[in-house]
A and B are shown apart, each in its own frame.
Chain A
Amino acid sequence: MYFMKNKKLLYLLLLIVLWQIISMIVDQPQLMPDSISIFQKFWEEMINGKLWLYAFYSFAAIIIGLSISIILSLAIALLSIKYTWSMDFFKFLNSILHPLPGIAVLPVLIIWFGVGYSSIFALIIHSVLWPILTNLFSAIETFPKTLSKVGDNYEMGILKKFIFIYIPGTMPSFIAGIKTGWARAFRAVISAEMFFGIIGSSGGIGWYLVKKRAFLDTSGIFAGLIVIILIGMFLESFIFDRIEKLTLEKWGFKI
């Protein structure tokens, strides 16, 4: 593990050196700023508090949108366990809407919800809900009947069965759905912010990129990209990995 980490660090270093050499050859900072000035810019922007604030806005929007989506998907799953028509209906809806990229429905969302946070949330929900549902539905369909019968045997109602048997039992698919959904949401939010970003104090990282672009600040753009990469890595290797270790790996779903 330690060796692996070391190797990654080595690759990172190699990448930075390579970048530095190429940027020195190109010698056009608007096209390719050298790595030192990118890091300088990144540090500067972090220190004076602006960049992490932008990142925080995007991140907070995603977390809130993700939470709403999770609650919604659970409600739909519950309904679908109880009634077959609900499963059929949402599967149909899923087959229509799932393939639609978030950015493609954005114009419609803007017309319906305006240019504020409601549109961003609607966009995140669209991006996250369908992958989660796809995974949840297939998990519910292949869910062991015996486990459900065990619940019946102890006179558990549908809600109790859902909370204590279905949710933990479908956890692997659920987490896989959230992972796909999160990646989609992150992309969607950044594109949305770039598309109709709210300028000023309440804009996200996408808006930060728009501003840097408008003022031809290429190192600034790279600083923004670094933040996006860091957020992605943070969620992937800290949040999701940890959740998986605490659940799936422990339960033997994934070894």
Chain B
Amino acid sequence: MNNITKTFGSKVVFRNLNIEIEQGKFITIVGKSGIGKSTLLGIIGSFEKVSDGKIIFEDREIKKPDKNRIMIFQSFDQLMPWKTVRENIEFPLKHLDIEGLDIENILIELDLKDVENHYPYQLSGGMKQRVAIGRSIITKPRMLLMDEPFGSLDVGTRYNLQRLLMHVWDAYKMTVVFVTHDVNEAVVLGNDIWILNENEILQIANPIMKPRDISDVNFQIFVRELVQKIK
């Protein structure tokens, strides 16, 4: 089981925060902008240093980023412009001595087969994020950390990518922590929705059954409840 404990001393952002992420869950984090959602995610991935406290992953304390917890960013420049779609996805396998997923399957599942030899500058925003997802799952990480990955996409593309991400999660069963400012997106995706307020995290189980439909009345009521809890 994943046991993550964090305590922060001097930093004002979080003070003595204790959270635990259960394996296999899809957790979405929402909160006001500037409240520290990305910082929290960065701490989980060890990209941000903690001023005090520990991060325990599977009973071991960790201090540096590693291949078990892969980060996916919002910005498109996380892809390497000098590599094709296929080379970008394969990149981690070239540098890690592990057996990954089959590249062909990934290309097909993410609908990238047609553009596998394209360079990033030739791709649309949605395609770029699909490549980023492909690259992050090829090493079968235990945990995916996603920092508003669909933040700069239009509504239609966003919807499609959400479906795709759910599908990927179902297929590969990794833990996902997904930061978003869009409460609808949080409810569509998460088993648990965490509301990050100043110095507190409200952890709320998602009562809406899949497939979750934005136009459903219950969905909308639940979203409204959540919005009221964001301070």
The interface of chain A, by Cβ under 8 A from chain B, is 144, 146-147, 149-150, 152-156, 160, 164-165, 168-169, 171, 247, 250-253
Q: Are B67 and A169 in contact (CB under 8 A)?
A: no
- How many cross-chain pairs have Cβ atoms below 8 Å apart between A and B? 61
User: Secondary structure of the B side of the interface?
Assistant: loop
User: Secondary structure of the A side of the interface?
Assistant: helix
B96 at interface, CB cutoff 8 A: yes
Q: How far does the Cβ of A154 sit from chain B's closest Cβ, in whole Å?
A: 5
Cα distance A156–B67 when bound, in Å?
Answer: 10
12 A-B contact pairs sorted by A residue (CB < 8 Å): A144-B77, A146-B75, A147-B80, A155-B96, A168-B82, A171-B82, A250-B119, A251-B82, A251-B121, A252-B81, A252-B119, A252-B122
Contacts of A149 in B (CB 8 A): 47, 65, 71, 73, 78
Q: Are B92 and A152 in contact (CB under 8 A)?
A: no
B70 at interface, CB cutoff 8 A: yes
The interface of chain B, by Cβ under 8 A from chain A, is 45, 47, 64-67, 69-71, 73, 75, 77-78, 80-82, 91-92, 95-96, 119-122, 139
Among residues of A, the one whose C-beta sits closest to the C-beta of B120 is A252
Cα distance A25–B128 when bound, in Å?
Answer: 66
Cα distance A147–B45 when bound, in Å?
Answer: 15
Contacts of A171 in B (CB 8 A): 82
Among residues of A, the one whose C-beta sits closest to the C-beta of B73 is A146
Q: Are B47 and A146 in contact (CB under 8 A)?
A: no
Cα distance A50–B148 when bound, in Å?
Answer: 67
Q: A144-B75, A146-B73, A251-B121 are in contact. Are A154 and B92 (CB under 8 A)?
A: yes
Q: Are A153 and B70 in contact (CB under 8 A)?
A: yes
Q: 12 additional contacts, CB 8 Å, given A154-B95, A252-B120? A: A144-B75, A144-B78, A146-B75, A147-B80, A152-B47, A153-B45, A154-B67, A155-B66, A250-B119, A251-B81, A251-B119, A252-B121
Q: Are B95 and A156 in contact (CB under 8 A)?
A: yes
Q: How far does the Cβ of B3 sit from chain A's closest Cβ, in whole Å?
A: 21
Q: Are B92 and A169 in contact (CB under 8 A)?
A: no
